[in-house]
């Protein structure tokens, strides 16, 4: 059995997943996301998410953004599994054509201690690594 082919989940397919993550994360996060990428921000708005720099959750498209958000203690979501090694907490990717959510175990623990929750719904479908 070979390795699963992992690719980035297209931006247009991320909104629903991010809504689930922010909805279950606690009152400070609900429906709010920080984002520096205009294309992602526009897509998130079309899913009813508000782009808010005060949100403790952020979406990053590259290493620089991951590090920028980490520097201010934000939970970072991305669509590239490689960014987990760079400090992202959640990666939503395609594996063999199906969406898969990966959560970094150490980051998860830190954010739970800080009061950001990972809903049961999310944990049922996510892989903690």
Mean pLDDT, rounded, for 9-28: 89
DSSP secondary structure letters along 42-108 = HHHHHTTPEE-TT-SEEE-SSHHHHHHHHHTT-EEEES-GGGGGGT-SEEEEEETTEEEEEE-HHHH
Q: Could you report the per-residue pLDDT of 19-32, keeping only the tens digit for each?
A: 989 988 888 888 99
Q: Between 3.40.50, 1.10.3470, 3.30.160, 1.10.760, what CATH number should domain 6-128 receive?
A: 3.40.50
Q: Could you report the per-residue pLDDT of 82-121, keeping only the tens digit for each?
A: 999 999 999 999 999 999 999 999 999 989 988 898 999 8
- pLDDT recorded at residue 114: 85
Paired tokens of 36: 């520096």
Domain ranges of the chain: 6-128
């Amino acid at each position: 059995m070979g390795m699963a082919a992992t690719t980035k989940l297209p931006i247009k397919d991320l909104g629903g997943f991010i809504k689930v993550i922010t909805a279950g994360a606690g009152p400070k996060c609900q429906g709010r996301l920080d984002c520096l990428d205009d294309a992602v921000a526009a897509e998130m708005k079309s899913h009813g998410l508000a782009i808010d720099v005060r949100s403790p959750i952020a979406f990053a498209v590259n290493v620089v953004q991951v590090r920028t958000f980490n520097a201010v203690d934000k939970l970072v979501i991305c669509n590239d599994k490689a960014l987990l090694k760079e400090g992202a907490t959640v990666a939503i990717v395609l594996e063999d054509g199906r969406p898969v959510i990966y959560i970094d175990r150490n980051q998860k623990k830190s954010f739970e201690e800080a009061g950001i929750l990972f809903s049961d719904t999310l944990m049922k479908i996510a892989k903690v690594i």
